[in-house]
Structure 1
Amino acid sequence: MSMLLSPDGVEALWHEAQAAKVAMSVAAAAAACIIAAALCSYYAARWPRRPVYLVDHAGYKPGRAHERTRAESVEHYRLTGAFSEESLAFKKRILERSGLGDATHLPASLIKVPMDICLRTGMEESRAVVFGVVDRLLAATRVRPADVGVLIVNSSLYSPTPSFTSLIISRYCLPVDVVSYNLSGMCCSAGVIAIDLAKRLLQVHLDTYALVVSTENITINSYLGNSRPMLVPNTLFRMGGAAILLSNKRVERQRAKYRLLHTVRTHRGANDKSYACVMQEEDELGHLGVSLSKQLTSVAGDALRTNIAALGPLVLPLSQQLRFVGTLVLRRVFGISVKHYSPDFTLALQHFCIHAGGRGVLDELERSLNLSAWHMEPSRMTLYRFGNTSSSSLWYELAYCEAKGRVKKGDRVWQIAFGSGFKCNSAVWEALRTIDDNVAAEGGNPWAQDVDVLPSA
């Protein structure tokens, strides 16, 4: 003890402390370098080697003859004679609480009494939607069909033979070497899956365009039974579709609206509860429909958390990432009971396009992501004006942001979609230019005639 208190002992202790301090500094610097290298590798693996540009997109808007109010829809259900009084009352309650407005669209086959549900009328609906949006998109972009090198169509529950891709190739005389994919069975998340597939294909097929078409068929998938889990989707889904033109041509950067930054796909099908929460099946009387589990909201929440855990490091500021990791370490490593930290995505993303599946899911995501009413407005307005149009709803929402003049150069847009299986998929875009609100007058924007009656920005 006397030696430690001597001048020589104090000096030795001081040198040991300085050496430890230097060692700690070196270790911290090394750890920082390792983390930085890991993050760089992670970002490099996620970032497309070749830029993928969104030249333009178009949404389908049926004519006024297809519009039906909620009351008219319930009365029409009654006239079909297919539903019990209890089911009609249930449908009415769903419509009143769903967030759908009084001007959503139904195909001609379902407006008739009796309904005309067959392959012929189903194809008539799909032809009107698919050809309608592709015609508008090609006219707006002035791209020749012969220049399209990649074609992807997604339609979940209706997959005819020949396929939708063959239908488009035949109609527009696409080149014989066009790379085509027809996606089915992936429900409302298929639109982002199609974008991710197009991104990957544009890394290997050089100097070309990719045409992506997202749609769903309402005619063929109408449920005419009285099982409540199947009545919900049958009441919410409406007619719609979208076409998107992507390119890896450098020259297209000058006029393109967006650049694709990230796509993140999450699939929780290994979990039995997630796998079975959205199922196409027959009821006790043999009527085919899509059944939704009561656990859908919680399953969607779990899938979202998994998805944003992968997306967060790609888009969030470092401060948000460190706070998130810190609380995670305290909870899981040290067992300290601290409140779970939800990152603030509004610090990195300006616009949120969340699949307009229903008011309940939108309410849950607004709470989970701590979003404002302004951020949720595109999704809620799309649900109100167009209903649940499945995988194409994300593009109605993006078109809404454009029609309102909200998208400025450098803004980032987050598209979030959910689907059977259960899947949660994300796409993040960066605006390459300010999208003037005059775009609402262009033919490809489905909000063109509604812009004057939209809520103020």
Structure 2
Amino acid sequence: MARIQEYVHVFPDLVEPATACYMMAAIAGLVLMYLLRKREPRIYLVDFSCYQPPKSYRLTTSMFLENVLLDGTDPESAAFQIKILEKSGFSEETSIPPSLACLPIKKSLQFALEEVKAVMFGAVSDLFNKHNINPREIDVLISNSSLFCPTPSLSTLIINKFGMRNNIRSFHLSGMGCSAGLIAVGLAKDLLRVHENSLALIVSTEGLHLNWYTGKVPSMLLTNCLFRMGGAAVLMSSRNQDKSRAKYELQHLVRTNNAQDDQSHACVFQDIDPENKQGISISKNILHVAGDALKANIGALGPLVLPLSEQFRYGVSILSRKVWSGRRKIHVPDFKKAFEHFCIHAGGRAVIQGIEKNLGLRKEDVEASKMALYRYGNTSSSSIWYELSYIEAKGRMKKGDRVWQIGFGSGFKCNSAVWKCVSDVGAESANVWREIIHSYPMEVPN
């Protein structure tokens, strides 16, 4: 008020007393609006559970070889798959649904439904039991499975199984590839902010049965060697009462989609081979395409998370490169100064090693990703949750720690989620690693 009166006194010809009153009222109104403004609710990750397949579902190397040879696969295709599997970084513990162990393989909708029901219902039941959650408390349900999309949808199967409310907001995401889990997190975040004081359940999986390739095209045979059975259930909340029991708070979510580029768009593609057999073709350019998507994603995420010193060094290196006509190296930001933990999608050994090298990460930074790949294989969109479970089981997650989840998917997409731990997570917490974590990390053969 005093400042406005001073303003009127200095410029009496420009501001009439009545105008000054209007100005004071307007300023007071703006101040009141600022104080009463509606703040976006915080988004919490209460907890999550990963599916643990029974030991009888294990696919050992000898069993894989036996199935490939006895299923009538030609010798050249069999040799190719064995070669890829030997370099995959898998252990003898990865799993497939029992229907794929039957010879000859008989694909059917019934077997496919049995597979996804076992994974989804198992993960959701474990999550609900851990926190004594009534299924009718769930306000938002999001399921994702890129390739297997029956009618009624997978989200409807979950509603029916657990007797959820008839006004639940349910969604199913398909065709989004291995990054669908983080896309689901983004959708849940938006819905929880619109529908405040709500609970959201995300169920991420991928059906293997109908998508097991029985042809001869090498680019399609890769999926048999890389993908394994798995899934996760994730509980998110915008309820204030959940702050005390939540594990993490969502800080940032950045999505990058390079589908406008033809090479990126065709990098991972569902197609029919010359023998009219359906499969997923994975291009040889996938590492290059993934690198381009990661660069774009980092470009958007960096300013949100990196300290100013790293941003300054990065900017100076770009300027120097332009001045010296590309003869100077661009400074790679040190993301270890922004995050304590990293969960890189376990898409394959080469993907993890490429990110480790290009971002200058340490072996311990990618340990969770490598061990998840070794123990469970590429479980598609749920892989990042197996990795976060590993970090928790090791007792490494502390209050205040920040974790970066990176997901890649067809399209081609790269998505990032940044979480901040809001409570100490003890190693004694029940998860899929708890009984075997003392044996890890393992030495993975080259």
Give the TM-score taking structure 2 as reference length.
0.89
Q: Which runs of 5+ in 2 are unaligned?
A: 1-38
Q: How does 1:73-152 map to 2 (within 5 A)?
A: 73-81=64-72, 83-152=73-142
Matching of residue 56 in structure 1 with residue 47 in structure 2: yes
Q: Deviations over 1:227-260 (max 9, x none)?
A: 0000111211100000000001111110100000
> 1:389 is matched with which residue: 365, 373, 379?
379
Show the counterpart of 1:195.
Answer: 185
1:331 and 1:282 map into 2 onto residues whose CA distance is 46
2:92 and 2:368 map into 1 onto residues whose CA distance is 17
Show the counterpart of 1:408.
Answer: 398
Q: How does 1:313-324 map to 2 (within 5 A)?
A: 313-324=303-314
> 1:418 is matched with which residue: 408, 433, 440?
408
Shift of 1:104: 0.5
Q: Which runs of 5+ in 1 are unaligned?
A: 1-47
1:334 and 1:297 map into 2 onto residues whose CA distance is 29
Show the counterpart of 2:27.
Answer: none
Show the counterpart of 1:9.
Answer: none
> 2:232 is matched with which residue: 242, 250, 258?
242
2:207 and 2:338 map into 1 onto residues whose CA distance is 36
Q: Deviations over 1:248-281 (max 9, x none)?
A: 1111110100000000000001111111111000
Q: CA-atom RMSD, angstroms?
A: 1.2
Show the counterpart of 1:69.
Answer: 60
Shift of 1:336: 5.5
SS at match of 1:259: strand
Show the counterpart of 2:7.
Answer: none
2:198 and 2:381 map into 1 onto residues whose CA distance is 24
Please identify runs of 4+ aligned residues in structure 1 that moved more than 3 A: 332-336
Show the counterpart of 2:364.
Answer: 374
Contact 2:217 2:273 in 1 (8 A): yes
1:315 and 1:118 map into 2 onto residues whose CA distance is 47
> 1:165 is matched with which residue: 146, 155, 177?
155
Supply the AA of the counterpart residue of 2:194. V
Shift of 1:216: 0.2
Contact 2:182 2:417 in 1 (8 A): yes
Supply the AA of the counterpart residue of 1:180. S
Matching of residue 453 in structure 1 with residue 439 in structure 2: yes
> 1:308 is matched with which residue: 282, 287, 298?
298
Contact 2:428 2:434 in 1 (8 A): no
Supply the AA of the counterpart residue of 2:255. R
Show the counterpart of 1:362.
Answer: 352
Contact 1:55 1:141 in 2 (8 A): no
Supply the AA of the counterpart residue of 1:56. D
Shift of 1:450: 1.3
Q: Deviations over 1:324-350 (max 9, x none)?
A: 112223334774631111000001101
Q: Deviations over 1:144-170 (max 9, x none)?
A: 111110000000000000001111111
Supply the AA of the counterpart residue of 1:108. P
Supply the AA of the counterpart residue of 2:173. L
Supply the AA of the counterpart residue of 1:436. G
Show the counterpart of 1:11.
Answer: none
Matching of residue 261 in structure 1 with residue 247 in structure 2: no
Show the counterpart of 2:21.
Answer: none
Farther-moved stretch of structure 1 (337-346 vs 325-334): 325-334
SS at match of 2:69: helix
Farther-moved stretch of structure 1 (67-76 vs 202-211): 67-76
SS at match of 2:140: strand
2:322 and 2:199 map into 1 onto residues whose CA distance is 47
Contact 1:267 1:422 in 2 (8 A): yes
SS at match of 2:317: helix
Contact 2:212 2:223 in 1 (8 A): no
Shift of 1:363: 1.1
Supply the AA of the counterpart residue of 1:362. I
Show the counterpart of 2:336.
Answer: 346
Show the counterpart of 1:25.
Answer: none
SS at match of 2:200: strand
The percent identity for this pair of structures is 48
Residue correspondences, number: 404
Shift of 1:71: 2.2
Shift of 1:115: 1.8
Q: Deviations over 1:35-66 (max 9, x none)?
A: xxxxxxxxxxxxx9211100000000110100
Show the counterpart of 1:293.
Answer: 283
Q: Deviations over 1:396-425 (max 9, x none)?
A: 000000010010110000000100000000
Show the counterpart of 1:17.
Answer: none
Contact 1:357 1:388 in 2 (8 A): yes
Supply the AA of the counterpart residue of 1:454. Y
